[in-house]
Structure 1
Amino acid sequence: AAAGLVVLWAHAIDGVANVVAADWLPALGHPIDSYSAKHVINRLIIDVTRTVQPAELSAAIGTSWPFLVVKLAVAVAIVWLFNETIFEESPRYAVLLLVAASAVGLGPGTRDILRVTFAI
């Protein structure tokens, strides 16, 4: 259960960092004028949101929020796949996969947080 929370936390870090960087930096008075998503999927989600979401809503809440929803949904799916049987049959392998799943969220999230912090 704790490992699952770590996976969710790691992916939430990435999703929230993207939303803040892409949509809220000017409102927060940050010197970066625009942030561009580094991941292809993130860019695709933002482009689809711009197409589907009304312009007034995009101006109010931004266009990157669906990426956070997708990240959390994927993290929940990963945690759901790791039932007790996997931990009983191969605990080291299960932990290794959960660490890898956490790294996939935490790595890009940390990068985005550092980019925003240092205005790069």
Structure 2
Amino acid sequence: MVLPEGFALPPLPYLVGLGIGLAATVALLWAIDPPVSDWTVVAFAPWMATGAVLHVLYQQGAFPAVLEPLFSTGAVYATTAVVAGLVWIVATVLTAMRRNASTARQVGTIGTGVAITFTMFSLYLGAQAGTLDPFWPVVGAVAAGVVAAVAWVLLSFAVTEAAAVTAKSGALVVFAHSLDGVSTAIGVDVLGAGERTPVSRAVLDLAGRLPVADTIGVGWLFVLVKVALALLIVWLFEEYVRDSPRQGRVLLGLVAAVGLGPGVHNLLLFAVSG
């Protein structure tokens, strides 16, 4: 009821491999115990986007058959998590060996380079196929930034402590889910795309039964729900982040990934599929 259409586990050998990779990565991170700060969460934002970009490339048929199961729906985020986790481990070790080094900066820099490289490759494939049309995705990205900024300012005035304590991690959560909401609204109301996640589809169906559906569409309610939920989560996490900053920020990062991944996927897929 909550998984998107098309979600399926990869073949058993790939599933076992991903499981072992995730378990080993988590075990190494547990042993190394790297610090988790606001900047650490932000540094992983490009990796969240990378998972989405890799899935778009999978939909474009960019990978050889032997690698395709690693980038299917669901599996792609496990694959990305393993790689990002290994980068985090190496960056932590290198930081311990060098002065004035920053684990978050290394993780973020590498992630940004990887995300940009794969994004450019996806856009290139779209251009080669003659389906590249970035207008609405660019509009969506800008609109999401505006929505997130307004929402964060309102939160800062209404619940100042929550905004101050969660800081960049909280702001990333709000932006990530604003991006998901706005990209879905553009897809449904402007581009005629369908929604694959049952819960999201239920919200859109509810909006479709409202009197204003014929004039302003249905996506506005989805944006409102996504942003409201993001703000509520940030507010509820205030005390948790204050008392247990490490665990709190890790969970906020996971919440951000749930929004940023689908949002980036939507916009890039719209761009390369025309």
Letter in 1 for 2:259: G
If the length of structure 1 is used for normalisation, what is the TM-score? 0.82
Question: Which has the higher Rg, Structure 1 or Structure 2?
Answer: 2
If the length of structure 2 is used for normalisation, what is the TM-score? 0.38
Task: Identify the residue that residue 106 of structure 1 maps to in structure 2.
Answer: 260
Q: Could you tell me which of 18, 25, 47 is aligned with 2:205? A: 47
Provide closer, same or farther for how the CA distance between residues 37 and 87 of structure 1 changes in structure 2, counting only shifts above 3 A.
same
Task: Identify the residue that residue 10 of structure 1 maps to in structure 2.
Answer: 176
Task: Identify the residue that residue 225 of structure 2 maps to in structure 1.
Answer: 70
| Aligned equivalents of 2:236, 2:228: Cα separation in 1 | 12
Quote the sequence identity (%).
36
| Aligned equivalents of 1:40, 1:4: Cα separation in 2 | 26
The structural deviation recorded for 1:90 is 1.9
| Aligned equivalents of 2:229, 2:262: Cα separation in 1 | 15
1:63-105 superposed Cα distances (whole Å, 9 cap, x missing partner): 121111110111011100111x423432210110010010011
Across the two proteins, how many residue pairs are aligned to each other? 108
| Aligned equivalents of 2:173, 2:182: Cα separation in 1 | 14
Unaligned 5+ residue runs, structure 2? 1-166
| Aligned equivalents of 1:95, 1:67: Cα separation in 2 | 26
Equivalent runs, 1:16-95 vs 2, <5 Å: 16-25=182-191, 34-51=192-209, 53-54=210-211, 57-83=212-238, 85-95=239-249
